[in-house]
């Protein structure tokens, strides 16, 4: 496994593989890797010849009052995990390497970037689409792997790829959860024991929404009310957003049917977590 720190090294390595006719799969991450990230590595291994993982805590996607400086960083341990999973390339650039002084070009997907996390975290998706575009230009992968865990990010990146005719296929992988239902996240490291227990309410609320849909409840207002009531059991969980939306446009839907996205962001104590569920089958009226 090669660990590359500069964009020119990464471009050269990926260029070599491409010239040999190899298919490159890219997995953009911010490190502090867990089984969710590793599920993307395995998916890439299944359909690509070369698996490349980028590790970069992207300052452009953090707001001024967010956790950029304290975001967990564990490059050595991450590389050991990736090596064990037979990753070929790790791209771990410095901030100066990704954003040299004077950088003034950004990629913004209007509309969908202002919904859900984009509404709560102004500028977040502009940071995401800018860094992912740069990574696509550097690695020029045939496929790139993302988690359904970040459902709004999936919508924004899919639109970016369509709008800018990018020649890359996005592969979206299911949410990996702990045995008790908590969605894996690098930010779970912030949770103390009691907050971790309280965080389980998010998955329970999603499950309740699914249950109501299966029982024939199509009104998103009533279904979200049920989910909200579950979350209200935990005193230190404060909802940022809880919405039923179209997974592509992220527009609210009044009626929930199969394929609708139920998405939640909530503060559990001081830690902001997200979770979501794609409604899988509804009873017909
Ligand atoms: P991050 O390092 O948080 O930027 O995440 C990098 C990629 O891993 C993103 O595409 C995430 O959606 C994905 N990811 C994070 N957590 C999970 C999870 N629990 N299950 C599946 N994918 C995940």
**Which pLDDT does position 284 carry in this prediction?**
66
Looking at the structure, do residues 26 and 157 belong to the same domain, yes or no? yes
Looking at the structure, do residues 191 and 155 belong to the same domain, yes or no? no
- CATH code for the domain in which residue 227 is found: 3.30.1300.10
Looking at the structure, do residues 224 and 133 belong to the same domain, yes or no? no
**Which pLDDT does position 46 carry in this prediction?**
98
- Tell whether 67 is covered by a domain: yes
Cβ partners under 8 Å of residue 120, min gap 6: 240, 241, 265
What global pTM score does this model have? 0.97
**Which pLDDT does position 281 carry in this prediction?**
82
Q: Is the pLDDT of residue 104 over 70?
A: yes
Instruction: Please identify, among 119, 141, 173, the residue that sits at the C-terminal boundary of a domain.
Output: 173
Looking at the structure, do residues 24 and 120 belong to the same domain, yes or no? yes
Q: Distance, CA 182 to ligand 1 centroid (Å)?
A: 13
Three-class SS of residue 261? strand
Atom 11 of ligand 1 has which residue's CA nearest to it? 147
- Tell whether 181 is covered by a domain: no
Q: Which domain holds residue 235?
A: 186-279
Residues in the ligand 1 pocket, defined by CB under 6 Å:
29-30, 36-37, 39-40, 146-147, 149-150, 173, 175-176, 183-186
Instruction: Evaluate the CA torsion angle 176, 182, 184, 185 in order and state its sign.
Output: positive
- CATH code for the domain in which residue 163 is found: 3.40.50.620
Using the atom order of ligand 1, give the atom closest to the CA of residue 186: 3
- Tell whether 30 is covered by a domain: yes
Looking at the structure, do residues 137 and 192 belong to the same domain, yes or no? no
Average pLDDT of the chain to the nearest whole number: 97
Looking at the structure, do residues 196 and 263 belong to the same domain, yes or no? yes
Looking at the structure, do residues 141 and 225 belong to the same domain, yes or no? no
- Tell whether 116 is covered by a domain: yes
Considering its fold, how many domains does the chain have in total? 2
- Tell whether 212 is covered by a domain: yes
In angstroms, rounded to a whole number, what is the distance separating the alpha carbons of residues 47 and 117? Answer: 30
**Maximum Cα interatomic distance, the chain, rounded to a whole number of Å:** 59
Question: pLDDT tens digits, residue range 4-22?
Answer: 999 999 999 999 999 999 9
**Which pLDDT does position 285 carry in this prediction?**
53
Q: Distance, CA 148 to ligand 1 centroid (Å)?
A: 8
Looking at the structure, do residues 126 and 191 belong to the same domain, yes or no? no
Q: Distance, CA 149 to ligand 1 centroid (Å)?
A: 6
- Tell whether 253 is covered by a domain: yes
Instruction: Please identify, among 173, 204, 238, the residue that sits at the C-terminal boundary of a domain.
Output: 173
Q: Is the pLDDT of residue 213 over 70?
A: yes
CB 138 within 8 A of CB 154: no
Of 209, 250, 254, the closest CA to residue 229 belongs to 209
Looking at the structure, do residues 62 and 104 belong to the same domain, yes or no? yes
In angstroms, rounded to a whole number, what is the distance separating the alpha carbons of residues 142 and 196? Answer: 38
- Tell whether 200 is covered by a domain: yes
Instruction: Please identify, among 139, 173, 207, the residue that sits at the C-terminal boundary of a domain.
Output: 173
What is the rounded average pLDDT of the residues 141-152?
98
Residue 124 annotated in active site: no
Looking at the structure, do residues 113 and 232 belong to the same domain, yes or no? no
Question: pLDDT tens digits, residue range 244-264?
Answer: 999 999 999 999 999 999 999
**Which pLDDT does position 212 carry in this prediction?**
95
In angstroms, rounded to a whole number, what is the distance separating the alpha carbons of residues 38 and 232? Answer: 33
In angstroms, rounded to a whole number, what is the distance separating the alpha carbons of residues 199 and 157? Answer: 27
**Which pLDDT does position 90 carry in this prediction?**
98
In angstroms, rounded to a whole number, what is the distance separating the alpha carbons of residues 75 and 228? Answer: 38
Looking at the structure, do residues 238 and 129 belong to the same domain, yes or no? no
- Tell whether 285 is covered by a domain: no
**Which pLDDT does position 240 carry in this prediction?**
98
Question: pLDDT tens digits, residue range 154-196?
Answer: 999 999 999 999 999 999 999 999 999 999 999 999 999 999 9
pLDDT band at 84 (very low <50, low <70, confident <90, very high): very high
Looking at the structure, do residues 169 and 219 belong to the same domain, yes or no? no
Rounded percentage of the chain residues whose pLDDT exceeds 90: 98
């Amino acid at each position: 496994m090669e660990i590359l720190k500069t964009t020119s090294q990464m471009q050269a390595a990926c260029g070599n593989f491409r010239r040999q006719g190899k298919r490159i799969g890219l997995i953009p991450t911010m490190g502090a890797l867990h089984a969710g990230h590793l599920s993307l590595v395995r998916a890439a291994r299944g359909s690509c010849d070369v698996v490349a993982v980028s590790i970069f805590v992207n300052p452009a996607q953090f707001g001024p009052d967010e956790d950029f400086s304290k975001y967990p960083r564990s490059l050595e341990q991450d590389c050991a995990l990736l090596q064990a999973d037979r990753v070929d390339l790790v791209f771990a650039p410095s901030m100066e390497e990704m954003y040299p002084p004077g950088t003034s070009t950004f990629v913004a997907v209007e509309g969908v970037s202002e919904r859900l996390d984009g509404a709560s975290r102004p500028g977040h998706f502009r940071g995401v689409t800018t860094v992912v575009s740069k990574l696509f230009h550097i690695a020029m992968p045939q496929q790139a792997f993302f988690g359904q865990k970040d459902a709004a990010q999936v919508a924004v990146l899919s639109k970016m790829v369509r709008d800018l005719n990018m020649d890359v296929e996005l592969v979206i992988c299911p949410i990996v959860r702990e045995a008790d239902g908590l969605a894996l996240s690098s930010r779970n490291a912030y949770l103390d024991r009691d907050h971790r227990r309280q965080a389980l309410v998010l998955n329970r609320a999603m499950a309740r929404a699914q249950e109501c849909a299966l029982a024939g409840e199509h009104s998103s207002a009533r279904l979200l009310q049920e989910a909200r009531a579950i979350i209200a059991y935990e005193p230190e969980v404060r909802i940022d957003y809880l919405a039923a939306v179209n997974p592509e446009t992220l527009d609210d839907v009044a009626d929930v049917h199969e394929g609708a996205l139920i998405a939640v962001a909530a503060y559990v104590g001081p830690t902001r977590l997200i979770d979501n569920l794609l409604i899988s089958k509804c009873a017909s009226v």
